[in-house]
Amino acid sequence: MIAGRTAKLACAAAAFIPLLAQAEEGQTSAGPLVVALEYAAVPDCPEIGDFKAIVAGRLGRDPFRDGSPDRVLVQVASYGLAYEGRIEWRDAQGRWAGDRNFPSRSADCRELVRAMAFALALQIQLSGTASATRDSGAAPVEAVPTAEAAAPPPTPPPTTPPVDVQREVPAPSPPAGALERRPQRMLAVGAGALVGFGVSSGPVPFGRLFGNLAWPRWSLELAAEVGWPSTVRREDGAGFAQQVLLAGLAGCGTIAPWSACVLAKGGVIRIEGKDIDDPASPTGPLVATGLRLAVMQPLGRRLYVTAQAEGLLLVTRWRVTLDDNLVWTSPRFAGNIGMDLGVRFP
């Protein structure tokens, strides 16, 4: 997998080289290419010194010089739990010379910045090699005219460059810093399954739907949870069935890929007597508060899966009796474990 990523980055950098032709033409020296670096990244990403060290380590030299006519702008922005990088080249007049976006494949900004540094090092190395090859061409040798040389050479047939290296007219470049001014929030919706302990008389599965509005460091979630009806019976066959319906609100702090949330849940519990002389079907409130710990794994740019565990304090408690005999009392504490599948909309 690492080799595959490296090959893709090498191809991306090589495809970027034609876009830098204008910047390279302004160089008069055949020495190694040097550039001025402008670096901007969100917190928790590597700093400029770390980025420079990765590039210099790949090249075996420091290619960055303040005041160099060729400028490289490196930017990393975050959208919820995902990151996006951008490398843009500008010439001495500040004109656009090429750019490339780097969508993250995980919630690890360090991995994205390392990939960008490797791609930039490859671009600088290939650009410097191409420039040195052009500048070190052999001096022309005066040819002795011959009868064959007097005739003009045949005109070669026109050729069309491969599609993957054709240059396109670049769209107007956004102003510097535009990447950082994008809205730093992301909407996500999804569904999940939980197994609850303590809310009902026994372990019970829950299904849930949720919506999530996320910023780089925190998020807000609204959810609806429905417990599967469960039945408890005595030896004589009498018993009771119960079902829990809840709505939840969660405020979460995020340090990718982990998140910790404060929870508040409220709803109703429905209880119905089964096979008894005087069945009753009371319904009452159920209120709980607690904490959640979750870890997220991206499945691409939009899909992700989350594993989570919750600890709850039951503010309201229930007692169930059959024929005036106490058969169940809800505990003070409860918990859930489960998984969610979500899709993000940047």
Any domain includes 168: no
State whether 193 and 131 are in the same domain.
no
Any domain includes 235: yes
What are φ and ψ of residue 251, in 5° steps? -115, 125
- CB burial of 212-249 (b: ≥16 within 10 Å; e: otherwise) equals bebebeebebebebebeebebeeeeebbbbbbbbbebe
Bridge partners, residue 306, by sequence: 296, 340
State whether 201 and 126 are in the same domain.
no
Determine how β-strand 239-255 pairs with β-strand 283-298.
unpaired
Residue 78 sits in a domain of what CATH number?
3.40.50
> pLDDT by residue for the chain (346 residues), tens digit each?
444 444 454 455 444 544 444 444 444 445 688 899 999 988 778 999 999 999 999 999 999 999 888 899 999 887 666 788 899 988 877 888 888 888 876 667 888 899 999 999 998 888 766 666 555 554 444 444 444 444 444 554 544 444 443 444 444 444 444 444 444 578 999 999 999 998 887 899 999 999 999 887 889 999 999 999 888 777 777 777 888 999 999 999 988 789 999 999 999 988 887 765 555 557 889 999 999 999 988 887 788 999 999 999 999 987 777 767 777 788 899 999 999 999 988 6
Strands laid side by side in the 36-41 sheet: 36-41, 71-79, 82-90, 96-103
State whether 107 and 241 are in the same domain.
no
Domain count within the chain: 2
Any domain includes 145: no
State whether 118 and 227 are in the same domain.
no
State whether 57 and 130 are in the same domain.
yes
pTM: 0.54
